[in-house]
Amino acid sequence: MFVPTTRRKAVTWLATATAAAALVFGAAKAQGTTAAPTTLTLYSGQHETLADALAAGFFEATGIRVDVRTGKDADLVNQIIEEGGRSPADLFLSEEPGPMNALASRGLLAPVDPETLAKVQPSLNPGTGDWVAVAARSRVIFYNPQLIDESALPKGILELTDPAWKGKFAYAPSGAFVSTVTYLINAIGEDQTLAWLKGIQANGLNLQKNGAVRDAVEAGQVAFGLSNHYYWYLLAQSRGGEENLASRVHYMGGGDAGALLLASGAAVLKSSRHQAEAQRFLAWLADAQGGQQIIANESPQYPLALGVSSPLGLKPIEELSPPAIDQNSLQDLDKAKELIIQAGII
Amino acid sequence: MLVALLALTPVAYLLFRGGISLPLLLRELSSPTTGILVTNTLLLALGVTLTCAGLGVALALLVVRTDLPARPLLTVLFALPLGIPSFVGSYTWVATFYELAPRSTFIYGLPGAVIILSLAMYPYIYLPVVAALRGLDPAQEEAARSLGTSAAVAFFRVTLPQLRTAIAGGGLIVALHMFAEFGALELLRFRTLTTAIVQRVTVLSAPEAARTLSLVLAVGSLALLVLDLKVRGRPSAARTGGGVARAPSLWRLGRSRWLWLGASGFLLTLALGVPLSAMGGGLVRLLLRPDAAFDWARLIGATQDTAQYALATALAASIAAIPVSLLAVRYPGRLAMLTERSTWIAHSLPGVIVSLALVYLSVRWLYPIYQTSSMLVIGYVILYLPIAVGAQQVGFGHASPQFDNVARSLGVRSLATFFRVTLPLALPGIAVGAVLVMLNVGKELTMTLLLHPTGTRTLATALWATTEGEVLDFAAAAPYAAALVAITAIPAFVMIRQTLRRPARR
């Protein structure tokens, strides 16, 4: 009844499967044994290319290896919180100040060496000294000159709730957007902020991601968009220069909420068993001759060590005139989340 | 039972991890977006599932039951979109539109999402239906014909009902996939419960608010699982006659065969041509770029890791699934049903939630394996177990217990009977399940990001890292996308070749 080939097939299948299992268990074991004593683990919310370049640069300078785990800021924060005191991470590098503050307020960060803090522009370090600001991004407007004149752009982001702007602009509820909301809660109060969010929700096009906002403006699907300067310069880099883009960047200035300057932070986790080496990484990262060079050259963010500037054509950081704040004040993420959900944005 | 318990751990996490309370739940449910999100999710799942069912059955019939030219080739080609991850597919569509019609917003929103996701998902119905059609004995349909019914009526009344298990199994996978889909929908600008959940976790860092929405999603999938049971009905019709079943007579398409061939070509252009040409274009641009410094070692490493995880999970999931599917097919009852259904729930939850549950649990109780490949494989098994179970049920359905009885009556012991009779008969189904699991693991993104061993990467995470869905230049992503498609196309191809060979028995 049963032709032998069927059974032979079954045997082949089982053999293949067993071999595969052996392969994987072998691999798992191999991974278990490679942990060297001086390897740091970095959880990074920055783009992987930059984080990898920093790890390579630090290894070159000190001989200490850094394993990088990339993810989104908030993802990694959740993960560190769920891992609790047993987190394998020694270091955390973020894109935004908010997630840093979230970890700091839970007591998960070790204080940064004062010498390290002194290496960068003091205005962007948090007052608490729980983390060090190593790069910055400016909130800006991207606009498409074929659809709107720079002079016709709004003077401040608060006026975007006016129905006249309906359908004209795009936005993305990104980490920087959450930071903006946190800032607004401090600046104009909870009720006004909620009203503003509802207006944005009604008038704007929610494109979920900053990259999508930029691309929609560039393609001419929408006249302008709220975003971070960073994304536009990334696109300019990959297209071979700013002159190849249809869209432009408008820096709002004037201390407007739409000109917020947000710090990317680095910190040592309190649970790390390599405190000395981890602090050494922060010191190197904040140093004008160390990590700051890599940040300036590898990504269109503002380096923050005194005497280092970006070669990538950004508007000089001294000319930005953002609102004056302590980065540490961008802390009440819970309220911001609640309002964003209430307004129906996420 | 153990398997079911493992599969239910994420649900337990949802219910018992602190931070969920009735007031919070009520406040979430009354938030203005919840209603919109629920409607969007249902519309999407319904639209994609129905479109996939129509496409899948029609294409399966075309290649199994008609005299369409080049059927062996088409049989394989139709299955290949399976190897293109939905987020990569959508990405290529978005990139293509930006290139050809930058101002068009046609592909965004519900219609675009239904079309593009259906093109990526229909093989989940097409494949089991092809397998089921091949296994059917044409005698029943012929008996109906001999009693005077027309070919079409005989098909709808006799053959189609026999395909129910295959269609329902595939449809359930598609619908639950839609419940859990994230990357593609974010690119296509369509908001569902899952996109909101993921954004709440990844942008707002508000897992409590995300968990409440996940509960809504879990209730939705429960409803779907019950519905599926009703649609599926009883497993039926194993063939027991002596001798070998004939190949069914083919429907002659006549002249319209060229029309059908043209339609097939058009479909393949959309489902395969667009993604592949965007990838090819990206590869060419990458190689022509003056500063072409692409890290090939990284690509090779990612490919190896992906292949290892996929093989290990396929094996583990197949073994874990066998008792569940055997129980469900052979001893249907309340217990069997609960066990089988429970494996599905985790499948419909977003990868982020399942992963967070596993992070939480493994850090506390299984710390030695946290962030090792074993943990990741366990996570994959939880996610994709039902896919193996679904396919295996079709396989075991064809392995009638009467064969076992015959073997037993000839003096073969029960364990031996299982290995020598039941398992070989169900093997095609088990193999389909294993391959489907392999494909899914190859494509998985969100869970891999959270659970992978630090320092390793799969093709999907490497692809994600080059783009993060935020750089529209496909060049940097293209090699990973191409490798991913290549690696997932191989098992699909082998499997189809296997099904193509006429079985010697039956």
Other beta carbons within 10 angstroms of residue B336's beta carbon come to 17
The amino acid sitting at A266 is: A
Interval B338-395: pLDDT, tens: 788 888 877 777 777 888 788 778 777 777 777 788 888 988 998 888 888 877 887 7
Distance from CA of B206 to the nearest CA of A (A): 7
Question: Any CB–CB contact under 8 A between A210 and chain B?
Answer: yes
pLDDT at A232 over 50: yes
pLDDT at B196 over 70: yes
Interval B449-477: pLDDT, tens: 778 887 778 888 888 776 654 555 667 77
C-beta separation of B231 from B50 below 8 A: no
**CB < 8 Å to A70, chain B:** 465
pLDDT-based confidence at B501, cuts 50/70/90?
low
Q: State which residue of chain B sits closest to A341, comparing Cα positions.
A: B31
pLDDT of residue B223: 87
pLDDT at A4 over 50: no
Question: CA-CA distance, B488 to B272, in Å (whole number)?
Answer: 14
Token pair for residue A238?
């990959």
Residues in contact with B188: Cβ distance below 8 Å, sequence separation at least 6, in sequence order:
B90, B93, B94, B107, B108, B109, B112, B113, B116
Beta bridge partners of residue A109, listed in sequence order? A269
**Lowest-confidence pick of A22-36, A155-169, A243-257:** A22-36
DSSP B236: -
pLDDT at A337 over 60: yes
Residue B420 burial (C-beta neighbours within 10 Å; 0-12, 13-18, 19+)? middle
**CB < 8 Å to A73, chain B:** 205
Mean pLDDT of chain B: 80
Contacting B residues, span 77-106, partner chain A, CB-CB under 8 Å: 98, 102-103, 105
pLDDT at A190 over 90: yes
Interval B43-102: pLDDT, tens: 999 999 999 999 999 999 999 888 888 888 888 889 888 778 888 888 889 888 888 888
Token pair for residue B262?
């043209």
Q: Do A173 and B32 touch (CB under 8 A)?
A: no
Alpha helices in B17-107 (DSSP H): 22-29, 32-65, 71-79, 86-100
C-beta separation of A100 from A43 below 8 A: no
Question: Any CB–CB contact under 8 A between B388 and chain A?
Answer: no
Other beta carbons within 10 angstroms of residue B14's beta carbon come to 22
C-beta separation of B196 from B37 below 8 A: yes
Helix (H, G, I), strand (E, B) or coil at B458: coil
Q: How far is CA B12 from the centre of its chain?
A: 24
pLDDT of residue B2: 64
Q: Which helix or strand (DSSP H or E) is residue B206 part of?
A: none
- Which of B203, B398, B446 to mutate to probe the A interface, most A CBs <10 Å? B203
Q: State which residue of chain B sits closest to A52, comparing Cα positions.
A: B455
Contacting A residues, span 244-303, partner chain B, CB-CB under 8 Å: none
Q: Do B471 and A88 touch (CB under 8 A)?
A: no
pLDDT of residue B77: 87
Interval B15-38: pLDDT, tens: 666 555 666 677 767 777 788 899
Question: Residue B33 is nearest to which of A5, A337, A344, comparing CB atoms?
Answer: A344
pLDDT at A168 over 90: yes
pLDDT-based confidence at A5, cuts 50/70/90?
very low
Q: Do B373 and A27 touch (CB under 8 A)?
A: yes
Question: CA-CA distance, A94 to B151, in Å (whole number)?
Answer: 65
Q: Do B200 and A341 touch (CB under 8 A)?
A: yes
Question: CA-CA distance, B187 to B93, in Å (whole number)?
Answer: 10
Q: Do B469 and A209 touch (CB under 8 A)?
A: yes
Q: Do A75 and B352 touch (CB under 8 A)?
A: yes
Question: CA-CA distance, B499 to A244, in Å (whole number)?
Answer: 52
Q: pLDDT exceeding 90 applies to what percent of chain B?
A: 14
Q: Provide mean pLDDT across the span A148-172.
A: 95
**CB < 8 Å to A91, chain B:** none
Question: Any CB–CB contact under 8 A between B438 and chain A?
Answer: no
At residue B109, φ and ψ (nearest 5 deg) are 90, -170
A344's torsion region: left (phi>0), alpha (psi -120 to 50) or beta? left
Question: Residue A75 is nearest to which of B36, B201, B466, comparing CB atoms?
Answer: B201
pLDDT-based confidence at A91, cuts 50/70/90?
very high
Q: By C-alpha distance, which of B318, B387, B310 is closest to B347?
A: B387
Q: Do A341 and B31 touch (CB under 8 A)?
A: yes
pLDDT at B504 over 60: no
Question: Residue A82 is nearest to which of B356, B421, B455, comparing CB atoms?
Answer: B356
Interval B127-136: pLDDT, tens: 888 888 887 7
Q: Provide mean pLDDT across the span B241-246.
A: 56
At residue A173, φ and ψ (nearest 5 deg) are -75, 65
C-beta separation of A143 from A250 below 8 A: yes
Interhelix angle B478-500/B423-443, nearest 10 degrees = 170
Helix (H, G, I), strand (E, B) or coil at A138: strand
